[in-house]
Amino acid sequence: MSPIPSFIALAALVLAGCASQTPASKGTHLVYRDAAGNPTLQIDYPSADVCRKVEMVASKNARCQPDSASSQLRASATLRYDPPGMLVEGHYADLARCQSANSTMARGVELVKPCTAKQ
């Protein structure tokens, strides 16, 4: 199983049930990087606080950052986490990875805008 669907499930759980305050984060872009430091996935959250909450349960190679790495990624999709009814933009290494990551959605996650390749 790909780590991306697991990430979406964890993110949905955190957003649905997390009521505690966490320290301020560095940014709203949760960026996953490979061993060489290249971005492989980025999820854009509406606030640094939300990003930080998800970062706490994400894998070690994911960090919230202020600057977007989306220009280095070649596909995107829009997801809705419900609750809380929040839209997030996902940026993926390529169209195939985007489609694979979003082929099965966790409970409470809806694909609002399907995967599209970036020009």
Residue type, 118: K
Which residues have CB under 8 Å from 2's CB, separation 6+? 100, 101
Please report the pLDDT score of residue 19 as a whole number. 38
pLDDT tens per residue across span 63-96: 999 999 999 999 999 999 999 999 999 999 999 9
Residue 48 has pLDDT above 50, yes or no: yes
Please report the pLDDT score of residue 26 as a whole number. 82
- Please give the span between the terminal C-alpha atoms of the chain, in angstroms, as a whole number: 29
Q: Distance (Å, rounded) from C-alpha 92 to C-alpha 98?
A: 5
Query: Rounded to two decimals, what is the model's pTM?
Result: 0.79
What number of other Cβ atoms are within 10 A of residue 50's Cβ? 23
Please report the pLDDT score of residue 10 as a whole number. 53
Residue 17's pLDDT band (cuts 50, 70, 90): very low
Q: Shortest CA distance to 100 belongs to which of 88, 111, 108, 89?
A: 111
Distance of CA 41 to the CA centre of its chain: 7
Q: Where are the domains of the chain?
A: 3-117
Check if the beta carbon of residue 49 is closer than 8 Å to that of residue 78: no
Q: Distance (Å, rounded) from C-alpha 104 to C-alpha 7?
A: 12
Check if the beta carbon of residue 51 is closer than 8 Å to that of residue 29: yes
